[in-house]
Amino acid sequence: MIAVALPRRALPLAGHRQTALAHARTRLMICLLLFVAIAGILGLRLVDLAVLHERDRDARDAFAPPSPPRGDILDRNGIELARTFDAVAVAVAPRKLVGDPHALAQSLAAILTDRTPGQIYFELTHPGAFRYVARRVLPAQAKRINDLGEPAITLEREPERLYPNSNLAAHVVGYTDIDGHGKYGMEGALDTQLTALATRGKPVFLAIDSRVQQALENELGAAMTKFSALGAAGIVMDVHTGEVVALASLPEFNPNIAGQADDNARFNRATLGVYELGSTFKTLTIAMSLNDGFIKSMDQKYDATAPIHIGRFTIHDDRGHELRKWATVPEIFIHSSNIGTAHMAAELGATRQRAYLDALGFLSPVSGELMERGHTLYPASNNWGEIATMTVGFGHGIAVTPLHLATAYAAVVNGGIWHPATMLKVESGQQVPGKRVFSEKTSDTMRALLRMVVTSGTGRKANAAGYRVGGKTGTAEKQQGGRYEKHVNVSTFAAAFPMNAPRYVVIALLDAPHGTKETSGFSTAGMVSAPIVEKVVTRIGPMLGVAPDLVHDVDVSGMLGLVAKAPDKE
Amino acid sequence: MKTSLKSATLIAAAMASAMGCYAISLRASAERARIDAGRVRIARDAADIRLLQAELRTRARLPELQRWNEQVLALAPPRAEQLLHNPRLLAGYAPPAPTPVRAPVELAAVVRDAPAPVEPIRRVAFAAPRVGNDLSADAAVIGTIATNGAGTFQKIALR
């Protein structure tokens, strides 16, 4: 018997079809909602990308030139003094080294000519994880090293600081260490500003004018060689703003290879070195006495008949320059009489002298942004008696930096207002801090006196034709090992020009110059430093827009009328 | 039939607008990419300019120019008398104007009638370049150069 089972057929039940249809619709609806949701999400993301992120990108402007890792330093006319570039450093991960270190060291030394195979081998076999083989290599060398194909050797990009003008203004610009931190000069002083993200994009404008700086350095260097001096310092300063237009200290160094410079070259003689600047201080003593009314007229006479014996000291005039009489103020100034000036200072008194020196900044470290700022040496206040007052009056017993002297001379000639020195450019119209120290009238008289020294006194060699230079010589015996050396001088000439309306102060200082046949063996300031000022002024006058004038000059005839006999030479 | 036509039109319209939007977006993105490429080029050029400026400055650094001047050029700063204060002084260095053809005839007459005025003008003329801003003196220089010819001009120019 064959039993056949028929397949069971689902019987269409009433309402079943409707239910199936409803299910299908529900599924369709869910799918539809899913699509809408996906489309919605996509739409929202698009809006997010297109609107919100786009705005972000605009704000950050990803394609704008990136600000350098360290800000540029420019001079007042926009000439580059320091810039940063991408350089390449060769590094090695010794543990990952594949090739033979001996052979690799040989082939690297063939490319990096300043390193020996031994030095390179030392780095390649060092137990550390990361070592530099060489830093700041040339792009061509980097390419050849890359071509060696050693995977453990990597080329790292790192910023490199370049000083295009090499030695120019090295003491002002300064340098950075290998890791890009400012160590000296303005690089050190403005390190935070130069590296901060917000400010590094904007270059720093210094007050330095490279052309003036070059003229000053060149003339100082020539004189230093000619007179076999140990060093030299020079400053050109704007008398109305205190801007240091040029500041030089010789010998100098190349900031691109600052590590190779010796300490003597790195020593900033203009802001860190303190010197007894001698007779240049007489200008200040006379200005103080004039300002406080002790000198009522130029024909007032002071005793210069004989040396002053006070305590165990004797104050006498330089040999061959003794006046041996009661001398007028212009006579004392033009003959640079120590005795006359000492009497003047004694009359002024220690308290007033101290107050003036304080107001002129001599009792504090020198102004300006540099970190290399010298502390002045002066008598302690309880020891500032009559002797100290007298010697300080003619510039002995007080040691200051040449920059101190420049700010004080600026105050003497600019109408009597002292401004702190600044290495940064002062925009025209910008307010500069300043305080009145001398009256206008004092300043006017001092200008005539200073001009007279150059037309008819010890500063004749500084008389740059047409530029109306005025100034004062200062020859001080150098102190070495606690005692004064008779024949070793610090010869300074402090000048300003044009004297009818002074604009710039120029200081030239030679440290331990030797006389030549041309100077008849003299190494005094009038012989060795004054000619530097003449040459510098002739060069920088036209650059700084000072028009030479051979016709108009400061009238010194009134002063000269009070001088019985002008000195022949210093 | 009517409904299917309507939906077909709708679909077509939606497609068309979607295509249009896509085309616009494509163009916009192409334009944006070009702008970005331009910006990248500007950034690269700016870096190159910095590099070239520094190279130029390094080659033309002032100590180097000074060395060139000392060894080859030997330029000296201008002397005070070489710097002129006004255009009139500069005009004094101009080449002399041609002498009038009939000058000899006139000169004879002038000399006979008034020989004196010729001298003072000449004296002022020699002093004039130093006086600088004196107007009448300058005028005299030009006048003298014009009448006296090349000889006087050379004297003034050489001073």
pLDDT at B110: 47
CA distance to partner chain A, nearest, from residue B111 (Å) = 35
Query: Which residue of B lies nearest to A64 if distances are taken between CA atoms?
Result: B43
Best residue of B21, B57, B65 to probe chain A, by most A CBs closer than 10 Å: B57
Could you tell me how far CA A96 lies from the centroid of its own chain? 46
Is A297 a residue whose pLDDT tops 60?
A: yes
Domain assignment of residue A24, yes or no: no
CA distance to partner chain A, nearest, from residue B137 (Å) = 14
Phi, psi for A183 (deg, rounded to 5):
-120, -20
Among A233-237, A376-380, A559-563, name the most confident range.
A233-237
- Is A80 close to B57, i.e. CB distance below 8 A? yes
- Is B63 close to A211, i.e. CB distance below 8 A? no
Give the whole-angstrom CA distance, residue A104 versus residue A93: 13
How many domains are there within chain A?
2
Look at A224-233, A339-348, A474-483, A500-509 and tell me which has the smallest mean pLDDT: A474-483
Point out the residue among A65, A164, A213 whose CB comes nearest to the CB of B54. A164
Q: Read out DSSP for A421-460?
A: -BSBPPPTT-----EE-S-HHHHHHHHHHHHHHHHHSTTG
Instruction: Summarize the confidence of residues A318-331 as an average pLDDT.
Output: 83
Q: A397 and A472 share a domain?
A: yes
pLDDT at A488: 83
User: Which residue has tokens 């003689």?
Assistant: A269
CA distance to partner chain B, nearest, from residue A534 (Å) = 12
Give yes or no for A328 touching B (CB within 8 A). no
Domain C-terminal end among A186, A205, A224: A205
Domain assignment of residue A96, yes or no: yes
- What type of residue is A260? Q
Specify whether the CB–CB gap between A246 and A236 falls below 8 A. Answer: yes
Domain ranges of chain B: 2-73, 80-158
Q: A490 and A513 share a domain?
A: yes
Among A35-44, A304-313, B93-102, name the most confident range.
A35-44
Is A225 a residue whose pLDDT tops 90?
A: yes
Domain C-terminal end among A155, A183, A205: A205
Domain assignment of residue A300, yes or no: yes
What residues in B contact A541, CB-CB < 8 Å? 77
What residues in B contact A164, CB-CB < 8 Å? 54, 57-58, 61
User: Which residue has tokens 């490199």?
Assistant: A160
Best residue of B21, B35, B49, B61 to probe chain A, by most A CBs closer than 10 Å: B61
- Is B62 close to A64, i.e. CB distance below 8 A? no
pLDDT at A33: 95
Give yes or no for A168 touching B (CB within 8 A). yes
Domain assignment of residue A106, yes or no: yes
Write out the two tokens for A318.
Answer: 């330089």
| Nearest-10 crossing angle of helices A350-359, A280-291 | 110
- Is B132 close to A63, i.e. CB distance below 8 A? no
Is B100 a residue whose pLDDT tops 80?
A: no
Name the active-site residue from A279, A367, A456, A523.
Answer: A279
- Is B63 close to A79, i.e. CB distance below 8 A? no
A67-100 pLDDT, tens digit per residue, is: 778 888 999 998 889 988 877 888 888 888 888 8
Q: A302 and A177 share a domain?
A: no
Point out the residue among B43, B61, B63 whose CB comes nearest to the CB of A64. B43
Q: A170 and A277 share a domain?
A: no
Is A518 a residue whose pLDDT tops 90?
A: no
Is A279 considered catalytic here? yes
Give yes or no for A301 touching B (CB within 8 A). no
Point out the residue among B47, B63, B78 whose CB comes nearest to the CB of A168. B63
Does an H or E element contain B38, and which?
A: helix B2-59
CA distance to partner chain A, nearest, from residue B133 (Å) = 10
A129-139 pLDDT, tens digit per residue, is: 888 888 878 77
CA distance to partner chain B, nearest, from residue A214 (Å) = 7
Dihedral over Cα of A383, A386, A390, A393: its sign: positive
Write out the two tokens for A15.
Answer: 């309402």
Domain assignment of residue A11, yes or no: no
pLDDT at B151: 38
Instruction: Summarize the confidence of residues A304-313 as an average pLDDT.
Output: 84
Write out the two tokens for A250.
Answer: 């010789």
Confidence category of residue A306, pLDDT binned at 50, 70, 90: confident
Instruction: Summarize the confidence of residues A12-33 as an average pLDDT.
Output: 87
pLDDT at A355: 92
Is B111 a residue whose pLDDT tops 70?
A: no
- Cα dist. B20→A44, B13, B15, B27, B136 in Å? 20, 10, 8, 11, 83
Domain C-terminal end among A205, A223, A244: A205
Q: Read out DSSP for A282-307?
A: HHHHHHHHHHTTS--STT-EEE-SSP
What residues in A contact B25, CB-CB < 8 Å? none
- Is B78 close to A542, i.e. CB distance below 8 A? yes
What residues in B contact A165, CB-CB < 8 Å? 57-58, 61-63
Point out the residue among A83, A213, A551 whose CB comes nearest to the CB of B131. A551
Instruction: Summarize the confidence of residues B23-49 as an average pLDDT.
Output: 91
pLDDT at B159: 33
Confidence category of residue A403, pLDDT binned at 50, 70, 90: very high
CA distance to partner chain A, nearest, from residue B134 (Å) = 11
Q: A343 and A389 share a domain?
A: yes
Give yes or no for A549 touching B (CB within 8 A). yes
Phi, psi for A453 (deg, rounded to 5):
-60, -35
What residues in A contact B130, CB-CB < 8 Å? 550-551
Percent of chain A scoring above 90 in pLDDT: 38
Give yes or no for A139 touching B (CB within 8 A). no
What residues in B contact A159, CB-CB < 8 Å? none
- Is A538 close to B58, i.e. CB distance below 8 A? no
Query: Which residue of B lies nearest to A210 if distances are taken between CA atoms?
Result: B62
pLDDT at B102: 57
Query: Which residue of B lies nearest to A85 if distances are taken between CA atoms?
Result: B51
Give yes or no for A225 touching B (CB within 8 A). no
Confidence category of residue B23, pLDDT binned at 50, 70, 90: very high
pLDDT at A2: 65
Nearest to A178 by CA among A161, A190, A191: A161
Q: A253 and A397 share a domain?
A: yes
CATH number at residue A94: 3.90.1310.10
Other CB atoms within a 10 A radius of the CB of residue A168 amount to 27
Q: A114 and A239 share a domain?
A: no
Is A406 a residue whose pLDDT tops 90?
A: yes
Domain assignment of residue A6, yes or no: no
Q: A378 and A488 share a domain?
A: yes
CA distance to partner chain A, nearest, from residue B3 (Å) = 20
Q: A400 and A506 share a domain?
A: yes
Which A positions 54-83 lie with beta carbon below 8 A of chain B?
63-66, 79-80, 83
* A210 SS3 class: helix
How long is chain A? 570
Nearest to A232 by CA among A245, A247, A221: A221
More confident residue, A565 or A274: A274
Is B122 a residue whose pLDDT tops 50?
A: no
- Is B63 close to A167, i.e. CB distance below 8 A? yes
Give the whole-angstrom CA distance, residue A244 versus residue A213: 10
More confident residue, A558 or A417: A417
Best residue of B25, B32, B62 to probe chain A, by most A CBs closer than 10 Å: B62
Confidence category of residue B128, pLDDT binned at 50, 70, 90: very low
A435-458 pLDDT, tens digit per residue, is: 999 999 999 999 999 999 999 888
Radius of gyration of chain B (CA): 40
Confidence category of residue A385, pLDDT binned at 50, 70, 90: confident
CA distance to partner chain B, nearest, from residue A1 (Å) = 60
What residues in B contact A203, CB-CB < 8 Å? none
- Domain of A162 in residue numbering reads as 73-205
- Is B80 close to A65, i.e. CB distance below 8 A? no
Question: pTM for this structure?
Answer: 0.76
Is A106 a residue whose pLDDT tops 80?
A: yes
Give the whole-angstrom CA distance, residue B129 versus residue B158: 11
Q: A171 and A250 share a domain?
A: no
Q: A225 and A157 share a domain?
A: no
Confidence category of residue A4, pLDDT binned at 50, 70, 90: low
pLDDT at B117: 47
CATH number at residue A266: 3.40.710.10
- Is B132 close to A548, i.e. CB distance below 8 A? no
pLDDT at B149: 39
Domain assignment of residue A108, yes or no: yes
Domain assignment of residue A179, yes or no: yes
Specify whether the CB–CB gap between A286 and A295 falls below 8 A. Answer: yes
Is B138 a residue whose pLDDT tops 60?
A: no
Q: What is the largest CA-CA distance in chain B?
A: 128
Inter-chain Cβ pairs, chain A and chain B, closer than 8 A: 75
Q: A253 and A162 share a domain?
A: no
Strand partners, A233: A249, A509
Phi, psi for A377 (deg, rounded to 5):
-110, 125
Q: Read out DSSP for A477-517?
A: EEEETTEEEEEEEEEEEEEEE-TTS--EEEEEEEES----T
